[in-house]
Amino acid sequence: MNRTPIIAGGMLAALLTVAGCTHGPNAQQQEQAQQANDTRSILNDQPLPHYNYSQIRQTLIDAQDIAANGTATTSFFFNLGSRDPITSCPSLGLPVPNTAQLSNPEQIAPVPGNWGGGSATLPQMDPYGIYSPAASEGTYVVCLTATGKPYVNYWEGPVQTVTAPAVWDMATHTLKVTGAPTFVARTKANR
**Residue-by-residue DSSP string for the chain:** ---HHHHHHHHHHHHHHHHHHHHS--HHHHHHHHHHHHHHHHHHHSPPP--S--HHHHHHHHHHHHHHHT-EEEEEEE-TT-SSEEEEEEEEEEEEETT--SS-SEEEEEE--TT--EEEEEE---TTS-PPPSS---EEEEEE-TTS-EEEEEESS-EEEESS-EEEETTTTEEEE-S--SS----STT-
Return the pLDDT at 88.
95
Q: Are 61 and 150 in contact (CB under 8 A)?
A: no
Please answer whether residues 186 and 63 qualify as being in contact, where contact means their C-beta atoms are separated by less than 8 angstroms. Answer: no
Report pLDDT for 127: 75
Contact yes or no for 72/163 (Cβ under 8 A): yes
Query: Which of 80, 83, 73 shows the shortest CA–CA distance to 153?
Result: 73
Task: Give every residue of the chain whose pLDDT is below 70, as ranges.
Answer: 1-23, 133-134
Phi, psi of 24 (to 5 degrees): -80, -170
